[in-house]
Amino acid sequence: MKIVVYSVLDMEKPYYEGLEEKHGIEIVFTNEPPKMENIKLAHNADAVCIITTPVKSDLIDAFYKEGVRYISTRTIGYDHIDIERAKEIGMGVGNSEYSPDSVAEYTVMLMLMAERNIKTIINSYQNQDFSLNNVQGCLLKNLTVGIIGTGKIGMQVAKMLQVFGCRIIAYSRREKEEMKGILNYVSLNELYAESDIISLHMPATDESFHMIDKDVINSMKDRAIIINTARGSLIDTDALIEAIENGKIGGAALDVIEDETEYYYKEFKNKVIPHRNMAILRSMPNVILTPHTAFHTRQALDEMVKNSIASCVAELSGDKNLWKIV
């Protein structure tokens, strides 16, 4: 069994040690992302392991022609893969889950940073401005936090927030009985109207695309803070920028933004980045941007790598595959 692993980072390599012997497989590594120009790397491979590079229909077809029958992404999200095309030609696809704690902790950190104006405090300090101008924050325990989506990560965020004593409300298509002593489920309209902080934990789907748009933002509580550690496509970035500029939204902390794929996880020192909305958001003192790193802990990397390889092995061996999508 041969598996080609694309986009391998140096920091990932130690987590692959021993997996070939454990599973009796051959693993071929490349630091290149999958693309038509290097498709021959997958020749006679049974499976490929990718990360966030878009895998559209042409690439899926090319993989199939090279003998690949399974694509595993080392991520929870799989919206970068053309699932419908994979179904059409019989290409299997799976993701790789990891502990929700990594993203949940990061989410709570961003909440605290946003409501305590940490970006302004750090920037002022670096400029030797030690005054108290524009750095007054709020106590989290006095705020209402609205969580949209109570899957594994959303649930863990709510559990972590309990210690702060804040009011926690949530909306989810599937309400979890075990969460009802921790938070109160409300309608989306109620959540928007009552939340001081709104935290997004929804997958990227056609239905969730731009769920935070101009109309929704206008229905929010004045000066609300938006936290997004899920997917950039959930927010209409133009509408968000307008709302921050006019003062409707009090701030945002975004680990993900629209059209990030071409830039995140790459280095652009001293180069012009043709992403105007990123530049505008970066310039705002009440907006925190991080490059899709909420997941990035040692534990998460270990689980992502091992679960992705285990998914490939299970699928190709005909065993139960816990991570199979199609």
Q: Same structural domain for residues 199 and 279?
A: yes
Phi-psi region of 99 (alpha: psi -120 to 50; beta: other; left: phi over 0): beta
Spatial CB neighbours of 25, under 8 Å, sequence gap ≥ 6 = 1, 2, 3, 19, 309, 312, 313
* 292 assigned to active site: yes
Per-residue pLDDT band at 285 (split at 50, 70, 90) = very high
What is the number of domains present in the chain? 2
Q: What is the pLDDT of residues 171-186, one digit of tens each?
A: 999 999 999 999 999 9
Amino acid at 218: N
The residue count for the chain? 326
What average pLDDT does the segment 120-124 reach? 97
Q: What is the pLDDT of residue 1?
A: 97
> Residue 184: inside a domain, yes or no?
yes
What average pLDDT does the segment 231-252 reach? 98
Q: Please, what is the angle between helix 298-317 and helix 101-115, to 10°?
A: 140
Q: What is the pLDDT of residues 124-171, one digit of tens each?
A: 999 999 999 999 999 999 999 999 999 999 999 999 999 999 999 999
> Residue 26: inside a domain, yes or no?
yes
> Residue 13: inside a domain, yes or no?
yes
Q: What is the pLDDT of residues 101-117, one digit of tens each?
A: 999 999 999 999 999 99
Q: Same structural domain for residues 136 and 171?
A: yes
Q: What is the pLDDT of residue 43?
A: 97
- The dihedral through the CA atoms of 54, 58, 60, 63 has a sign that is negative
> Residue 324: inside a domain, yes or no?
no
* Helix (H/G/I), strand (E/B), else coil: 323: coil
Q: Same structural domain for residues 59 and 146?
A: no
> Residue 170: inside a domain, yes or no?
yes
Q: Same structural domain for residues 49 and 184?
A: no
Q: Same structural domain for residues 75 and 160?
A: no
Q: Same structural domain for residues 109 and 24?
A: no
Which residue in the list 115, 258, 260, 315 is annotated as catalytic? 260
Q: Same structural domain for residues 114 and 45?
A: no
Q: Same structural domain for residues 126 and 266?
A: yes
> Residue 326: inside a domain, yes or no?
no
Percentage above 70 pLDDT, the chain: 100
Q: Considering the chain, what is the average pLDDT of its residues?
A: 97
Q: What is the pLDDT of residue 283?
A: 98
Which residue in the list 85, 231, 258, 303 is annotated as catalytic? 231
Q: What is the pLDDT of residue 195?
A: 98
Q: What is the pLDDT of residue 44?
A: 97
Q: What is the pLDDT of residue 107?
A: 98
* 223 assigned to active site: no
Range of the domain at 50: 2-98+298-317
Q: What is the pLDDT of residues 29-66, one digit of tens each?
A: 999 999 999 999 999 999 999 999 999 999 999 999 99
> What's the Cα-to-Cα distance from 107 to each of 21, 117, 284, rounded to whole Å?
37, 15, 20
> Residue 198: inside a domain, yes or no?
yes
Per-residue pLDDT band at 260 (split at 50, 70, 90) = very high
CA-to-CA distance for 126 and 211, rounded, in angstroms? 37
Q: Same structural domain for residues 131 and 46?
A: no
The pTM score is: 0.93
Which residue in the list 85, 292, 303, 315 is annotated as catalytic? 292
The phi, psi pair for 56, rounded to 5°, reads -90, 180
Domain CATH code at residue 313 = 3.40.50.720
Q: Same structural domain for residues 189 and 305?
A: no
Per-residue pLDDT band at 306 (split at 50, 70, 90) = very high
Residue 241: how many other CB atoms lie within 10 Å? 18
CA-to-CA distance for 27 and 93, rounded, in angstroms? 18
Q: Same structural domain for residues 260 and 200?
A: yes
Q: What is the pLDDT of residue 15?
A: 97
Q: Same structural domain for residues 143 and 35?
A: no
* 17 assigned to active site: no
Phi-psi region of 218 (alpha: psi -120 to 50; beta: other; left: phi over 0): alpha
> Residue 322: inside a domain, yes or no?
no
Helix (H) or strand (E) holding 72: strand 70-73
